[in-house]
Amino acid sequence: MTHALFPDIQPYQQGMLAVSGLHSIYYEQSGNPAGQPVVFLHGGPGSGCNPGQRRYFDPAHYRIILLDQRGCGRSTPQGEVEENTIDHLVADLDALRQHLAIDRWLVFGGSWGSTLALNYALAYPQHVAGLILRGIFLSRPSELDWFLHDVQHFFPEAWQQLLSYLPAAEQHDPLSAFAKRVFSDEPSISEPAAIHWNAFEASIMTLLPSATTSEQGINGKIELARARVQIHYIKNQCFVGERNLLAEAAARLQQIPTVIVQGRYDMVCPPLTAHELHNAMPHAELHMIPDAGHSGMEAGTRSALIAATEKFKQALG
């Protein structure tokens, strides 16, 4: 059975929550105010949420909560990396839960959002009714090395395009080279570098090539915030460090209903990680989508994610 996106809806509430003296995070609620709470965790790190993400959920059933993580999207200060680690993001999630007077919620996270969802569930299992995880990423060195080097075996053109922005002397270490430019105080340096950096990930997102985005529609400040947050996290191994999330999940998350959705040809977050997570959490459902890459909006992945939200309506409703 193929599941279609639910109709486009507008939030019934939007707000800003001060989570520190520096940071305030944007959040919104849509759907049924008295419904089953679900929180959507966006990827990146740095991407921010968007209206299409509300459409994975039946608005008649779910109280749909989206947020922009620290430094992302409409959160302020935009692109700020001080006081911005995964532990801060986990604490922010629970602060938002308390602010909204929610006891337990379904947690839905894709890509980097799956990392954050797992870390949140490990910190606050009593507040997690279930997990829907897509495009699994655990921030291990091997996964970061894949994204920053090994993926060139499949996308040599995209990799060459990324490196072509840099002088030959700096192409051996593109992360540091782009960090130097993206964190420049001069917008004429930082914004073009951010746009070029972000274009690399966009070019390897889907199984089949997608239409190229017109540069006329690109917002340099948004691109810069996204790139600064992402590079900040990658340079710090996403602040996961030496934690063995697989072992922790195996030991502590066996009682949380979980659905894992993974594209077989995901070149951003290869399927080995999803396979290993399923081995650590054998009670979880694993749906390996045979004709999908990384994007959550590819047909097979989208349908499987909506099937999961429909299943949780019955299981938790």
Local structure of 29: helix, strand or coil: strand
CB atoms within 10 A of CB 21: 7
Single out the catalytic residue among 42, 294, 295, 303.
Answer: 294
Single out the catalytic residue among 30, 203, 266, 278.
Answer: 266
Burial label, 12 (beta-carbon count in 10 A; 0-12, 13-18, 19+): middle
Q: How would you classify the pairing of strands 105-110 and 36-41?
A: parallel
Single out the catalytic residue among 75, 111, 139, 303.
Answer: 111
Local structure of 120: helix, strand or coil: helix
- Tokens representing 312? 């949780």
**Residue 312 is inside which H or E element, if any?**
helix 299-316
92 catalytic, yes or no? no
**Residues whose CB falls within 8 Å of the CB of residue 159, separated by 6 or more in sequence, listed in order:** 151, 152, 200
CB atoms within 10 A of CB 271: 17
150 catalytic, yes or no? no
CB atoms within 10 A of CB 60: 10
**Residues whose CB falls within 8 Å of the CB of residue 193, separated by 6 or more in sequence, listed in order:** 165, 178, 181, 182, 184, 227
185 catalytic, yes or no? no
Q: Which residues are catalytic?
A: 111, 266, 294
